[in-house]
Amino acid sequence: MRVLAAMSGGVDSAVAAARLRDAGHEVTGVHLALSAKPATMREGARGCCSIEDSRDARRCADVLDIPFYVWDMAARFRDDVVEPFVAEYAAGRTPNPCLRCNEKIKFSAVLERARALGFDAVGTGHYARLSADGVLRRAADPDKDQSYVLGVLRPDQLDGALFPLGDSVKSEVRAEAAARGLVVAEKPDSHDICFIPSGDTRGFLAERIDAAPGEMVDPSGAVVGHHRGVHDFTVGQRHGLGIARPAPDGRPRYVLGLEPVSRTVRVGPAEDLDVTTLRATDPVWLAGAPADAVACVVQVRAHGGLAPATVRADGEGVEVVLAEPLRGVAPGQAAVFYRPEPGGDVVLGSATIASTGR
């Protein structure tokens, strides 16, 4: 096949491109320029869209002897990922921008352009397994599994995707990169939101959302503090609340809920974060919406947050009943549903969490 290999400048995408070439595909590398003003250098593990990353991707393409291009996707990335990210925080929700980047950029904008140029598929360095019949599964390396952030993709998007690293563990990938002479073999992984390389999400949002001060209230309704805007918080947050006095029982307080209209941040004890039901919208089903309630394992965060559950399609959304409580589930995050047996690693579908219940 003719394959467009998305090359971020990191070790995973470089090895993925190498494996696609070795598999006999006609591979072209492309680096996505997602920032209108990219930093010159990458700061350790922060970000992934610097000029240095672009140069690293090009150097790897040269070693692999494949064509290489840089595509300017900054405007699309701003419109489809960055601005919705800010809007979600302003509305009191907690989005996952990596998930939306996969959905809107890599397997929408990039895949559309690739197909228009005659490519058959887009290959990436994601850790996930995808069978020929479109079944998406967890990766062999549980510590690197990225099926959660791919769970929002539609069947037609997965039909144009290739994930060559799904059966490998990270140590194998680094060793392979070194053996191939790729300069990124020991390059640190990126752990931060790529468009906030400083890691200061609160500061980033403060520059884009007008302050809307309000009250912080405990479960009794008592005002225990004040804040400059609900966008400074996320459900489950413990640190940085700015509350001067401790709870009457001396236990830590957590953010329990955000109410942008009344500009209220609700805080309370950890046990009040437990939820047993979820309402989610914008569902995506990889094999069609289930006609009846189906048993599954639901994951509500990129790392952790798993519980057995029953999910039922309901009009434009889904109702999820958890078999055991989950703590600190934030509206705005994705709920990804996995088949419970065998192995619990097959993705059934996903939806965006709108609300939770106890």
CA distances from 332 to 65, 119, 122 (A): 42, 34, 27
Q: Are 253 and 272 in contact (CB under 8 A)?
A: no
> How many Å apart are CA 180 and CA 16, to the nearest integer?
12
Give kind and range of the element (H or E) at residue 300.
Answer: none
Sign of CA dihedral 83, 337, 111, 155: negative
DSSP annotation string for 243-265:
-SS--TT-PPPEEEEEETTTTEE
Active site residues: 101, 194
What does the block give as tokens for 177?
């990169």
What does the block give as tokens for 292?
């009846």
Q: Are 272 and 247 in contact (CB under 8 A)?
A: no
Q: Are 232 and 185 in contact (CB under 8 A)?
A: no
Q: Supply angle C-alpha 277, 342, 131, rounded to 5.
A: 100
Q: Are 137 and 147 in contact (CB under 8 A)?
A: yes
Residue 72, SS3 per DSSP: strand
3-state SS of the chain: helix, strand, coil percent to 5?
25, 30, 45
